Structure 1
Amino acid sequence: MGIRAIGSYLPEKVLANADLEEILLTRDDWIRENIGVETRRVAADDEWTSDLGARALEDACARAGITPADVDLVICGTYTPDNMAPPTAMLIIEKAGATGATGFDVNSGACPGSVFALDVGAKYVATGAFRRVAVVMADVSTKTLDWKDVGPAVIFGDGAACYLLEPCAPGAGIQGTLLRSDPSRYGAVWVAREERRFRDGRPRRSAFGDNFAQLSGAAVRSFAVGEVPGFIGELLDREGLTTSDVDLFALHQANLHIVHGIMDGLGVPRDRTVTNVQRYGNTSGASVPLVLREALDTGRLAPGDLVVLAAFGSGLSLGTMLVRWCGEEDFGEIGASGRERVGAA
C-alpha cells in the first residue's frame, strides 16, 4: 500500500508573534529563539475540524485526479472532534461529497496521529477490505487554548492534511512501522478537563468549554530529542538499513529546535529534512503530512526516495514509519467502486 497523494488545507487567518504580544506576556524574539515559530494559522470562529478536513480531502483527490465520491473509507485522525458523537469523519464525508464512504475517527493522542492513524489506514488497504482510503489528519488546536496560558498559545496552529492510500506495486509504498507509548508520562502533554476562572470569578473557557491544552515543554523536548533518534534507528536496524539510506526525514513539527535536535541525534545533516513550524506552528497530527506535501511541492521528494516519518507527543507516544515513495506507475487503476479494474497493472 502506498500514498497516492497528499492534500492540505490551512486556515486563512495568520497570527504572528507580534499579534501574540498584544494578548500574552511574551515577546517575538523569545518565541523565535526558544520555539522557532514566527507565524501560525488560526481557524475562524465558525471553522471546525470537519471543515478543515473536508478541504484537505478534496485537495488530495484533486491531486490524484479523482473525486471524493471515489473514496471507500475515510479515517479522521483528530483530538478535536466537532462533537463527541457521531465521528467527525462522517461530517467530512458529507461536506466533501465522499458519497458512499464508510467513516470513523482515530484519537491517537493528537501529534502522534501522523503515524498512528496512517498505520490504521494502511492496514485496511493491506487486508483488501477497502481499496482507496483517505486518512484525514485535522485539528483546531487553537480552540483548546486558554489565551492567558503562554506555553501552549505560542506553539500551536490549526491545519489539516490528507493521506490518500491505495494498493501499490511490490517493493514500493509503506515498508514498516514501529509504535510505542509511555503512559507514565501521560500528563506531559494533554487536554485537561478543569474549571478555570478570571480574577473576578467569571468562568474562563476555551471553545471546548472546560477543556484546555497544557504541556511541559521541557518534558516533551527531553523525550523527543532523547528517544526519537534511537527509536528511528530501531526501525532502520529492523529493516537492515542505516540513516545513510534515507533520502528524507519527515518529522513532527513540535518545535524547530526539537526537529534540529532529532536530526543532530541521528547524526544526519539538517538539510535532509523539511521544516514548516516557522510558518504554521505545531499543527498536531497534520504536521508530518504537511511536511511531505511541502517536500513534494518543492522537489525535495521524488518517486523511489526512501522516507522516514516520525511523530511524537501526548501519551507520551511515538511512531515511526518507513516509506518507499511511489510514482504514478506504482498504482493500479481503480474504479469508482474502489475495486481494481480487470487488466489493471
Structure 2
Amino acid sequence: MVWNAVPAAVGIRSVGRFVPGIEISNEELVERFDTSEEWIRTKLGIHTRRVARPGQSTSDLAVGALFDACGRADIAPDTIDLVICCTGTPDHMLPAMAAAVLRKAGLLDIRGFDINAGGCAGGVFALDVGVKYIRSGEYNRVAVVIADTVAQCLDPEDRTGHAIFGDGAGCYLLEACRDERGVGPTVMRTKPELYYTAFTERQDPPEGVPNRFSGPNYMRMDGGGVRDFALDVIPDFAEGVAKAAGTTLDDVDLIISHQANPTLLRRLIRALGQPEEKTVVVADRLGNTSGSSVVLALWEAVESGRLKPGDEVLLVAFGSGMSYGGTVLRWCGPEDFGVGRMEAA
C-alpha cells in the first residue's frame, strides 16, 4: 500500500448544515402543555425550534449537511475518501447510519462508519476522530457528519424536553492544511459518575411484543445537573483547552459552545469571564440540536462573516456521559488547502 506522508496540520475546509423545515413556536407549545411563553423565553431563552417532518429520518438531515459542506467548498461529493457519522439517534440500530447516508447520497464507492460520542459532546469528539484519520496519511478528504433527531425521542408528556430540543445536522469537511493553521490539540474527558444526568430510557414494549435490543426510547435529562456541570466544570476545562493550544480565553477571537439552551450558554460565557458578544447563539431559533449544535453555531459564524482566516476559535462541547471536549481552531482560508503531500512507500 502507498500512503501519503502524514500531514502536520488538518483544517476544516468547509462547514455544512441542514435543519428541517418545520418550526415549532413557544405559542404552539403553550397550546399543548401546561406552561407559558414567558417561562420558556426567560428560563431557556428559546423562541422556536426546528423538528423533522413525519418520515424524515436522521440520515436525511445528515445527507443535507454533507451536500451543503461540499457545495460550499465547491468539491464533488464523490471525491471524499471517508464519511464518519456521529449520532445518538440512528435510523436503525444496524446497519451504520453512514451506510444510509452514502446510499441516499449516491456515494456507492466510499467507505463510512458511525460513532456515538455521547450526544451533545459529538461536536468535538467526532471532529477529533476525523482529524486523526487525515493525520494517518491514508485519507485526504474526510467528511464528519453529526446529526440527531432528539425531538423525535421525547416523552409526549415531557413539556421541558419539547421546549428544549430540536433536530439538526452539521458537517465538517476536513483536509490537510498549511502549518500553523487548522485544528489544535483536542482535550477530552468523561465523568461516568454522572452517567444518568442525560440518557435515553428504554421503555417496556407492549405486552406480547418482544423487546428487540433497544425498543422505544425517551430522552431523560436532569436539567439542574447539566446546568451545575456546565458552570462548575467547563470554565476551568476551557482554560485548560486554551492553554494546551498555546493561547488564552482572552486571546481567542470567538468561543463556540454546545447550545444546551441560550440562557445557560450566556451564563457560561460570563463564568468564563468573557463578553457575550464573543460567542454565537443559534439555539434561540433552533433549540438544542445535540451534537450538531456546535457545528451549526460554527456554520453561522462563517456565514455571517464573524469568522475570518487566522482567527482563533475555541470549541467546547459537553453532553451525556457526562462527556466533554474542547479544541482551538486556527481558522483556514481557501489558500491554506491544497498543500503538497509527498508520496511515501
| Contact 1:24/1:147, CA 8 A, preserved across alignment | no
Mapped partners of 1:173, 1:238: distance in 2: 14
Name which of 93, 96, 117 aligns with 1:84: 93
Deviation for aligned residue 1:236: 1.7
Deviation for aligned residue 1:98: 2.7
Deviation digits for residues 77-96 of structure 1 (CA, Å, limit 9, x no counterpart): 10000011110011111212
Equivalent residue, structure 2, for 1:308:
314
Deviation digits for residues 171-226 of structure 1 (CA, Å, limit 9, x no counterpart): 100111100000101001010112399xxx9x9xxxx8531001110000000111
Equivalent residue, structure 1, for 2:260:
254
For 1:1-345, list aligned pairs within 5 A. 1-195=10-204, 210-332=216-338
Report the residue type matching 1:173 in the other structure.
G
Mapped partners of 2:62, 2:99: distance in 1: 11
Report the residue type matching 2:44 in the other structure.
I
Instruction: Provide the alpha-carbon RMSD of the alignment.
Output: 1.8
Structure 1 stretches of 4+ with a deviation exceeding 3 A read none
TM-score, L = length of structure 2: 0.92
What is the DSSP-based 3-state SS (H/G/I as helix, E as strand, rest coil) of the residue aligned with 1:315? Answer: helix
| Contact 2:46/2:261, CA 8 A, preserved across alignment | yes
| Contact 2:44/2:261, CA 8 A, preserved across alignment | yes
What is the DSSP-based 3-state SS (H/G/I as helix, E as strand, rest coil) of the residue aligned with 1:84? Answer: coil
Deviation for aligned residue 1:240: 3.1
| Contact 1:176/1:323, CA 8 A, preserved across alignment | no
Report the residue type matching 2:116 in the other structure.
N
Deviation for aligned residue 1:341: 9.2
Deviation for aligned residue 1:330: 0.5
Deviation digits for residues 279-319 of structure 1 (CA, Å, limit 9, x no counterpart): 00001111001001101111110100000000001001110
| Contact 1:151/1:214, CA 8 A, preserved across alignment | no
Deviation for aligned residue 1:264: 0.8
What is the DSSP-based 3-state SS (H/G/I as helix, E as strand, rest coil) of the residue aligned with 2:32? Answer: coil
What is the DSSP-based 3-state SS (H/G/I as helix, E as strand, rest coil) of the residue aligned with 2:124? Answer: helix
Mapped partners of 1:277, 1:328: distance in 2: 29
Deviation digits for residues 99-129 of structure 1 (CA, Å, limit 9, x no counterpart): 3211000101110000001110110001112
Deviation for aligned residue 1:149: 1.1
Mapped partners of 1:6, 1:122: distance in 2: 14
Deviation for aligned residue 1:333: 6.6
What is the DSSP-based 3-state SS (H/G/I as helix, E as strand, rest coil) of the residue aligned with 2:219? Answer: strand
Deviation for aligned residue 1:235: 1.6
* Shift in alpha-carbon separation, 1:159–1:140, aligned structure 2, 3 A: same
| Contact 2:242/2:327, CA 8 A, preserved across alignment | no
- Which deviates further from its counterpart, 1-10 or 140-149? 140-149
Deviation for aligned residue 1:273: 0.5
Mapped partners of 2:115, 2:61: distance in 1: 16
Percent identity among equivalent residues?
46
Deviation for aligned residue 1:4: 0.3
Report the residue type matching 2:31 in the other structure.
E
Report the residue type matching 1:144 in the other structure.
C
| Contact 1:151/1:215, CA 8 A, preserved across alignment | no
Gaps of 5+ in 1: 335-339
Mapped partners of 1:49, 1:155: distance in 2: 18
| Contact 2:176/2:339, CA 8 A, preserved across alignment | no
| Contact 1:55/1:96, CA 8 A, preserved across alignment | no
Report the residue type matching 1:216 in the other structure.
D
Mapped partners of 1:222, 1:325: distance in 2: 31
Report the residue type matching 2:225 in the other structure.
A
Deviation for aligned residue 1:158: 0.3
Mapped partners of 1:148, 1:135: distance in 2: 34
Mapped partners of 1:143, 1:115: distance in 2: 23
Deviation digits for residues 216-251 of structure 1 (CA, Å, limit 9, x no counterpart): 100000001111111010122233321121000011
Mapped partners of 2:205, 2:235: distance in 1: 38
